[in-house]
Amino acid sequence: MRKKCLVLLLLVFQLQLSQAQSFTKDDGGIKATVNGTEISIRLYTPSLVRIIKSPAGKTVIKESLSVIKQPEKTAFTSKQKGDNVSLATGKIKVDLNLKTATITFTTASNLALLPEKAAGTFTSFNDAGNATYTVEQTFSLEKEEAIYGLGQQQSGKLSQRNVKLNMIQGNTDDYVPFFVSTKGYGLFWDNYSPTAFEDKPEGTSFKSDVGDCIDYYFMYGGNIDGTIACMRDLTGQVPMFPLWTYGFWQSKERYKTQDELVGVVKKYRELGVPLDGIIQDWQYWGNNYLWNAMDFLNPEFPNPRKMIGDIHDQHAHLAISIWNSFGPHTLQYREMEPKKMLLNFETWPQSGLEKWPPDMNYPSGVKPYDPYNPEARAIYWKYLKKGLFSLGIDAWWMDSSEPDHLSFKPSDLDEKTYLGSFRKVRNAFPLMTVGGVAQNQRQTSSDKRVYILTRSAFAGQQRYGSNTWSGDVNSSWQSLRNQIPAGLNFTLTGIPYWNSDIGGFFAGAYNRSWNDGSGARNPLFQELYTRWAQFGAFTPMMRSHGTDVPREIYQFGKKGEPVYDAIEKAIHLRYLLLPYIYSTAWTVTNQQSSFMRALAMDFNDKNVQDINNEYMFGKSILVAPIVKAQYTPETIVKTDAESGWNKKDSKDPSKNNIVDFTQTRTTEVYLPGGTSWYDFWTNQQIQGGETGLQNTTLDMIPLYVKAGSILPIGPDVQYATEKKWDELTFRIYKGADGTFTLYEDENDNYNYEKGAFTTISFNWDNTRKTLTIGDRNGSFNGMLNERKFRFVIAKPGVGMGMSNGQAEKEITYSGKKVVIKF
């Protein structure tokens, strides 16, 4: 009996020893092998952990394209209880089940966050001759949990529950495999191949075509802002953009001569309508065989240096179209082709001839380049610098950065890149090509901040000074409705700069359906364009662009006419808000904030979790764009972003009819609970938590300011830097305590990174009705040493709209603390 007991005790001891040795611990985390799967749990910060899973015995060496952060030395504890191993920091706890190989994430106080539903699967896959895997991981989300992000889609959905996405970059869909939860955590699936994301009652999964391992990051920020801060800590912070880029941009497809381009700027100056940016679209290089030559070879642009000088002399800036492919007659093509730096699949343009539709008897021979190759990126910049940057071009419009992939064949993904098959790295194409331009420009000069307008993006692209637009979307009301959730979900991936073509890109049906052939005078398009412009005024970039119908303000009429005046009012409002916008940009750079904010980011109100037609612009202004036609019938225009313009006529029931744009209309708005609000136009105070009807006119969309806000109003200017902010009016919206920090710097260089900037804090004590203006912090060349500040208390029944109202207090501020009692 005694001998049997000793044997039993020995077996128990051996079993315990076996369990104790089933995982290993080092300074960075723990590792274990479970059921043939090697699992690594690596801490990057107390709130951020990386999970790597791979088949046992397979060596995995992976350098992330998105992640630039190195793991911090992080204190943690680990313990084993039965089949469970726990790793805990002061913020999160990670539990690994040594029997099922599943992982569960909780807060340090054991609040459930996210469990894996299964261990993860590895299915053998032949990737262009390389033996690898298709990888999948499934998680379990709570039924009431909302998630956001995953990039930009044109579905009109905000919450990404119960969706299925085929994540491969396209013209109007940008995919970033990262989502945030209303529970305060985020998950980044670090894979660049085509990926299926699916959320259904049975589980939430990522499944990628190619992966040597399952590789994802879990982060807990406590709320959505905190989680986005974790994502930027992991993949890169956001630089400041030049002040002028927050002004109004005019563009179209395309200005055909340099005189036409310069003439647009001149016309805006004559009309007194503010303008800061003008964009030159494609074919300034000449024919399609010279596609993207990055040189002015078109005879209609005979003196580009003078053209750029003429634009600069009018205090405007020029962005120019560059692409990610090259025609066979270009110098870039001829240098890259022998070095196998071009990808062999069909891209835009298909034909060497410019007529539409493409004549495939004359194929263009245009090929995308391989941006994964550092030498190819250097060659790209060499010609860009020589042909355009040296002339004084201010910004880049990087079109087709996904890139265009026409007549898609699965075998195209077998194309070899510097980093393996195109399939393996497909979705990171925009990150690599935008990064190549940004990094090379920074190395060349720090006098001009990098500014890249791009059509596609991937995780980490926020670090490269880029602003992504939503692609060649339709000119329709449904398309306008789709832009709001598209922009919000894009922002919720941690990439804060986004915009869309004001008016939508494809507008030909409005042109052909109108009596004089001028879509800009078609009331259907006029109403849509006006509402889109008002929405655009509250995005990080206000940019007018499209085809078929010209978009310059003077095409829509003249001063004194409702449509013209409404468009002009939206542009002027944008400029009045520049001190608020630029200061918000600093919070994005310095405090990991966001411009466009889904209401769930700021309000603990379940009613707002899936509101897809309202958002906060910065922390103070709620924007409720008009996204349904109020004066004309809605005409849904169907186009194909891949194949081009809609050439069919559409029946226009308002053709030849006069539309009265002066009438007042109403729209429904929900204001989040937990705070009170002020109507921006009338100062009417409204308690949140209810849906109400709001009166609107053609020149006015619903705007609300949150109680406790301090809103700076800038001078009336024709371009962003025309006047210094030596006299600013601050509107104080009482009802709650509030703060605001005014940020200023040298406007267009990187000296702010060396500390050349100032901040002035404003603090409103609602109980004492006292405003405290703090000492000015910092300094920079050209800083105002003394200025006037005017203060207006927003009062119900006393409307201000775009006026400043009657100042209750006015002071001269010289950089020292001031306390003002109201």
How far is it, in rounded angstroms, from Cα 6 to Cα 45? 46
Number of neighbours of residue 135 by Cβ within 10 angstroms: 26
Q: Is the peptide bond prior to 403 cis by the omega test (within 30 degrees of 0)?
A: yes
pLDDT in tens, 562-580: 999 999 999 999 999 999 9
Q: Has 472 been annotated as catalytic?
A: yes
pLDDT in tens, 389-448: 999 999 999 999 999 999 999 999 999 999 999 999 999 999 999 999 999 999 999 999
Query: How sure is the predictor about 310, in pLDDT bands with cuts at 50, 70 and 90?
Result: very high
Q: Torsion-angle region of residue 511: left (phi > 0), alpha (psi -120 to 50) or beta?
A: alpha
CB 624, CB 667: distance < 8 Å: yes
Which of 577, 576, 598 is CA-nearest to residue 488? 598
DSSP per-residue codes, 595-652 = SEE-GGGT---GGGTT--S-EEETTTEEE----S-SSS-------BTTTB---S----
Strand partners, 139: 116, 204
pLDDT in tens, 704-744: 999 999 999 999 999 999 999 999 999 999 999 999 999 99
Q: Has 26 been annotated as catalytic?
A: no
- Tokens encoding 510: 């409005």
* pLDDT at res. 805: 74
* pLDDT at res. 251: 98
Chain length of the chain: 822
Give the up-direction half-sphere exposure of residue 68: CA atoms within 13 A in the CB hemisphere.
Answer: 13
* pLDDT at res. 639: 58
* pLDDT at res. 20: 39
CB 18, CB 32: distance < 8 Å: no
Indicate whether 16 pLDDT > 70. no
Q: Has 727 been annotated as catalytic?
A: no
Number of neighbours of residue 253 by Cβ within 10 angstroms: 20
* pLDDT at res. 657: 65
Residue 478 — φ and ψ, nearest 5°?
-65, -40
Determine which one of 402, 501, 699, 748 is catalytic: 402
Homologous superfamily, domain 2-235? glycosyl hydrolase (family 31) (2.60.40.1760)
* pLDDT at res. 800: 77
CATH, range 598-626+658-822: 2.60.40.1180
* Mean per-residue pLDDT of the chain: 94
CATH, range 248-325+371-597: 3.20.20.80
Which of 822, 777, 591, 616 is CA-nearest to residue 706? 616
Residue 708 — φ and ψ, nearest 5°?
95, 0
Q: Quick one: how far is CA 388 from the chain centroid?
A: 26
Indicate whether 4 pLDDT > 50. no
* pLDDT at res. 647: 42
Q: Where in the chain is the domain with CATH 2.60.40.1180?
A: 598-626+658-822
Indicate whether 587 pLDDT > 80. yes
Q: Provide CB contacts within 8 A for 2, sequence distance 6+.
A: none
Determine which one of 174, 472, 605, 744 is catalytic: 472
pLDDT in tens, 652-680: 444 556 899 999 999 999 999 999 999 99
Determine which one of 209, 281, 399, 568 is catalytic: 399
Q: Where in the chain is the domain with CATH 3.20.20.80?
A: 248-325+371-597
Pairing of strands 185-189, 174-181: antiparallel
Burial of 10 (0-12, 13-18, 19+ CB in 10 A): exposed
Q: Where in the chain is the domain with CATH 2.60.40.1760?
A: 2-235
Query: How sure is the predictor about 517, in pLDDT bands with cuts at 50, 70 and 90?
Result: low
